[in-house]
Amino acid sequence: MRSIALLLVCVVLGVAFQPQFPNRISRRISRRSYTTALKFSELNELRSLIDEAGGQVGISADPAVVTKIERVVDALPQTKNPTAIPLTGTHELLFSMAKGGSNGKVGPFVGKVNQIFVDDTNFINQVTLGPLKVELLATREILDDKRVRVTFKKTRFNLFGNTLKETETKGSGVWTIKFFEDGLRIMDTPSLFIIKALK
């Protein structure tokens, strides 16, 4: 009788508690899948809108398209502790709302803009127009989990691989990283910058 009673207790407990774990896991997967699907949808829309904007120079784009880009950026989930993610290699500018040479626009021409990370502290903002390269040498200091202080040091002009001129440059600013995942980095400098790591 005692054995039968124990068996009944085990059956009851098994029926009572077993379904709770799959349901709980299912809810977690469901929430995670929803977040991933939302992020994937927003990133696809962001890529399409950048194409619609006509390239990296946001100040030359249709204001309505810029507003859509900013809306999508605001809808993306903020990355936790993005400044802890290592920055290495070369990163390409996809879109910027900055004025001046940092968006790649030099007079009527638009150059290719790259960020080249030399080490954990030093990096180069590089604008390439044919054989001409204009490089802004800078350092970065992590302030907290989202903000980085950038200090500009020198400007260098290269033509056909030869340095024509190098001058000291003064200036600094605080950049806030809003999103950083799979090599895609979105920052406020305070102008909006969208940058992608080259593989």
Q: What is the pLDDT of residue 185?
A: 96
For 114, the token pair is 């790259």
The reply to whether 114 falls in a domain is yes
The reply to whether 44 falls in a domain is no
Q: What 3-state DSSP class applies to 199?
A: coil
- Residue 187: closest CA among 33, 84, 78: 78
Q: What is the pLDDT of residue 9?
A: 33
- Residue 171: closest CA among 198, 143, 149: 149
Show the low-confidence residues of the chain (pLDDT under 50): 1-35, 38
For 44, the token pair is 């696809």
State the CATH number of the domain containing residue 91.
Answer: 2.40.128
The reply to whether 11 falls in a domain is no
Specify the number of domains making up the chain. 1
pLDDT digits over 79-113, tens only?
999 999 999 999 999 999 998 778 888 888 889 99
The reply to whether 89 falls in a domain is yes
The reply to whether 9 falls in a domain is no
Residue 26 half-sphere exposure, CB side, CA atoms within 13 Å?
5
In angstroms, how far is CA 95 from the centroid of its own chain? Answer: 11
The reply to whether 104 falls in a domain is yes
Q: What is the pLDDT of residue 173?
A: 95
The reply to whether 187 falls in a domain is yes
| Phi, psi for residue 69 in degrees, rounded to 5 | -60, -45
Range of the domain at 143: 73-197
Strand ranges for the chain from DSSP E: 89-96, 105-106, 109-110, 112-117, 122-129, 132-142, 147-159, 162-168, 172-181, 184-188, 192-197
Q: What's the burial of 130, exposed, middle or buried (CB within 10 Å: 0-12/13-18/19+)?
A: exposed
The reply to whether 62 falls in a domain is no
Q: What is the pLDDT of residue 106?
A: 81
